[in-house]
Amino acid sequence: MSIGYKQLITRFLGEIPLTAEFYFQLKNNSEPGTRFSLKNLKARLPKMLEELEANRKKIENPKKILIFTSLHYWIEEAATLALYFAAQGHQVTFGYLPYADWKNPVNKFDVRKQDLYTKKVLEGAEKFMTIHSFMPAFPMYKSFPEEIASIASEISIYDAQYTLQVEEIDTENQLYKMRRERNETFAKLLYNWIQANRPDQMIIPNGTIQEMGVAYRIAKWLEIPVSTYEFGEQRKRIWIAQNREVMRQETDDLWAVRKDVSASDAELEKVRAMFSARQKADLWENFSRRWQGAERVGQEKIRAELGLDDRPIVFLATNVLGDSLTLGRQTFSRNMAEWIERTIQYFLERTDAQLVIRVHPGEQFTHGTSMVDVVEALCPSLPPHIHLITPTDKTNSYDLVDIATVGLVYTTTMGLEMAMSGVPVVVAGQTHYRGRGFTYDPNNWVTYYKMVSSILNEPEKAVLTEDQVRMAWSYAYSFFFEYPRPFPWHLVRMWDDYDKRPFSYVLSPEGQAEYDESFRYLLGEPMDWEKILKLQTDEGA
């Protein structure tokens, strides 16, 4: 039987009522035979429920919480989070969509099996929380506010950009159409559910793309307090945002307190050690990523390799296209590609300077449009004073920082690192370190060109002051070591983490001392950054 024939059969079965239910019972409630698996949660859930029962609390004013997610790996993580809040005495609804894939059409027969399987795995948890599937069960004929369609359209654009790793999306594209249908259907289902079960708080992973992005925007539209969260490169840490998209990494509240508190020598040494590892292409402490793939060679050698002379050097560092950290981050350009194109056009006339374009090394692991293609489409033959470094070139970006007169960035963290080295940086996108006092932040093309021109005309006046460099270092410590909060379970190594820190520990006095503040932050309680910084200062004294 060919693969196509199997798909045809399952598609046909998906249209017949109760076929998935019959199949699921025939297979003795086993896994659905797709990529969708909750085996790790299933194996641990009986013990988890025992520990929850032993540590369950009753509180006077429990919150009504909706925790929603989609995709099987997020379901395992978010269900564990939901159980935690249920054990703390809150009225929790765990909502989910039983999908294994966000970028391909859903086979109704398979998704119904996956839904039945999810309900079976979670049935023991119903003692602690309400389990709600948002799987579409029937057509919806009622009218809905126009905001529903608007939200679905916006998120579907992001989904297509993220998946295809391109910036320009044709709304006739099949992926966009599929995402639009799924996002709008879910938006209607969630809207209906909220009308009958309005929660006090919503908690959602990511909050930018896919149905999680839809849920976040529905919450904001309906003025329901909402927290979003994600996991970065650090183990035992979580990013949390209240009434914001966590992927925007908005550090405003933290920096409002931290900006007037200089980092201590010990804190600066911690940042120095981390960045030393980044520059040498090493792993460091609980970070799981190598940021460079090549060793440093020094200023003299990098100049010789690129054929650079004594003219000012402009270092333009790109982002990976389609990364969640670039979606919707434009300020004055239409997108990142336009910013690069117009910057190159500007420098074609500025032969008194040298432009070095470093395309992000991460592009070698992606499949979308490369910034190399953008550059070559604009200018197939670059003049001698413009240099293009491709993702696979063995060039350490920190060698470029050392020789740069000025840095140009969209949202990459490389801009922060250049500022830490005293290099003036012009920021073109909406990134977390923009407007913190140590970067140039234009809001339109005219200002952008004026800033770049001013720096190149008088580079010695543009070098950051000692106070600005110190501020950049303080911000780096704040962003890397204070903004991510302690958390017991990282998505990537969820079950290794859980086995080391099960509910019996997390709910114990020791575990609560370590993690309760982060859970409360997720629950919508404000973070007392002044208190946290004071405790850190007292501990370091």
pLDDT at 352 over 80: yes
Mean pLDDT of 524-540: 81
Q: Hey, what are 61's tokens?
A: 């004013």
Strands of 445-511, DSSP E = 485-486
Task: Give the integer Cα–Cα distance in Å for 532 and 89.
Answer: 26
Mean pLDDT of 308-321: 93
With beta carbons less than 8 A apart as the criterion, state whether 460 and 254 touch: no
pLDDT at 25 over 50: yes
pLDDT at 288 over 70: no
Task: Give the integer Cα–Cα distance in Å for 20 and 112.
Answer: 6
pLDDT at 294 over 70: no
pLDDT of residue 139: 63
Lowest mean pLDDT among 66-80, 196-210, 255-269, 411-425: 255-269
With beta carbons less than 8 A apart as the criterion, state whether 336 and 318 touch: yes
pLDDT of residue 534: 78
Mean pLDDT of 329-346: 94
Model confidence over 433-465: pLDDT tens digits? Answer: 999 999 999 999 999 999 999 999 999 999 999
pLDDT of residue 189: 96
pLDDT band at 282 (very low <50, low <70, confident <90, very high): very low
What mean pLDDT value characterizes the chain? 89
pLDDT band at 113 (very low <50, low <70, confident <90, very high): confident
Model confidence over 118-164: pLDDT tens digits? Answer: 999 999 999 999 999 999 876 676 889 999 999 999 999 999 999 98
Mean pLDDT of 240-245: 96
Q: How many helices (H) and strands (E) does the chain have?
A: 22, 12
> Which long-range contacts does 378-381 make (Cβ < 8 Å, 24+ apart)?
378/341, 378/344, 378/345, 379/344, 379/348
Who's near 142: CB < 8 A, 6+ residues apart?
A: none
Strands of 411-483, DSSP E = 425-427
pLDDT of residue 21: 57
Task: Give the integer Cα–Cα distance in Å for 97 and 211.
Answer: 9
Mean pLDDT of 185-194: 96
Nearest to 312 by CA among 354, 343, 271: 354
Q: Hey, what are 141's tokens?
A: 């004929």
Report the chain's terminal Cα–Cα distance, integer Å.
Answer: 72
Angle at which helix 210-221 crosses helix 174-197, to 10 degrees, equals 40
- Percent helix, strand, coil in the chain, to 5, is 50, 10, 40
Backbone CA torsion sign across 146, 149, 152, 156: negative
pLDDT of residue 537: 67
Burial class of residue 28 (count of CB atoms within 10 Å of its CB; 0-12, 13-18, 19+): exposed
User: Which amino acid, residue 484?
Assistant: P
- Give the phi and the psi of residue 231 in degrees, each rounded to 5: -120, 135
pLDDT at 429 over 50: yes
Helices (H), 329-444: 336-348, 371-378, 397-403, 414-420
**H or E element at residue 404:** none
Percent of the chain topping pLDDT 90: 70
Domains of the chain, first to last: 3-253 (3.40.50), 262-482 (3.40.50.2000), 485-540 (no CATH)
**H or E element at residue 394:** none
The residues facing 388 across adjacent strands are 357
Question: Locate tokens 């009504």: which residue?
Answer: 64
Model confidence over 377-397: pLDDT tens digits? Answer: 998 999 999 999 998 888 888
Strands of 313-317's sheet, edge to edge? 386-389, 354-358, 313-317, 406-409, 425-427
pLDDT band at 353 (very low <50, low <70, confident <90, very high): very high
Nearest to 18 by CA among 121, 116, 120: 116
Strands of 258-339, DSSP E = 313-317
pLDDT at 217 over 80: yes
pLDDT band at 7 (very low <50, low <70, confident <90, very high): low
The one-character DSSP state at 440 is: B
pLDDT at 16 over 90: no
Burial class of residue 443 (count of CB atoms within 10 Å of its CB; 0-12, 13-18, 19+): exposed
pLDDT of residue 13: 47
